A = this chain, B = another copy of it.
Amino acid sequence: MARPRTSRTRERIQEAALELFAEQGVRQTSLRQIADRLSLTKPALYYHFASREELVASLLQPLTDDLDALLAEDEAAGDVDARELLGRYFDVSYRHRAVTGLMLRDLPTLSEFGVVERIVDWRRRLTTLLVGPDADVAARARAIVALGGLGDCLVLLADTPVDELRTAALDAACAALGHPAG
């Protein structure tokens, strides 16, 4: 039976799940804990989500959709400035920073959702955009440090005002790429 795609209770379940996933990990969080936080019972969750897997996937989707769209855009644009590209990547990651944090910290759990393959693909395409398709190890290392560093800054400097954080993270990432002036 078709249930509405959004409802207040459904959103509250997603919010509580995301909080608990961030606090203690995805695999370590049971449906019972999510239900308890909302003073519901487990079967109530199953009214809104067909399975635990569907709940997790519904949390990942907005970020993956935005990243796929961003990459398709930049690949179509042809000639892209590195700092602008990294800036757009930062903005998407920041907008979904709770889920971004999950993806950085909880990879083995999320591998059941094909997340690992998608992340590997994103990084491959971003690396191609940054240092070209046939880059040597040195160039690939610079791209890895730049891209990984952006994500690490998001997580580790989470309480910094976003403007300041954005500038600092982009400066460091561009320096790693070998573009000291940006």
Q: Which residues of A contact B (CB under 8 A)?
A: 24-28, 105-109, 111, 123, 137-138, 140-142, 144-146, 148-153, 156-157, 160, 164-165, 167-169, 171-173, 175-178, 180
Across the interface, do A148 and B152 meet the contact criterion of CB distance under 8 Å? Answer: yes
In the assembled complex, the CB of A86 is this many whole angstroms from the nearest CB of chain B, namely 11
Q: Are A141 and B172 neighbours in the complex by a CB distance under 8 Å?
A: yes
Q: A165 near B138 (CB under 8 angstroms)?
A: no
Could you pull out 15 A-B pairs where Cβ atoms are within 8 angstroms? A25-B27, A27-B109, A28-B109, A105-B107, A105-B108, A108-B109, A137-B165, A138-B171, A141-B169, A142-B175, A145-B173, A146-B149, A149-B176, A173-B176, A178-B180
B105, B144, B165: the one within 8 Å of A152 (CB): B144
Pick from A26, A157, A172 the residue with the most CB of B within 10 Å: A172
B109-A137 in contact (CB<8A): no
Q: Which residues of B contact A177 (CB under 8 A)?
A: 175
CB-CB under 8 A from A123, the residues of chain B are 156
* Alpha-carbon separation in the docked complex, A168 to B165 (Å): 27
Q: Chain B residues near A160 (CB, 8 Å)? A: 137
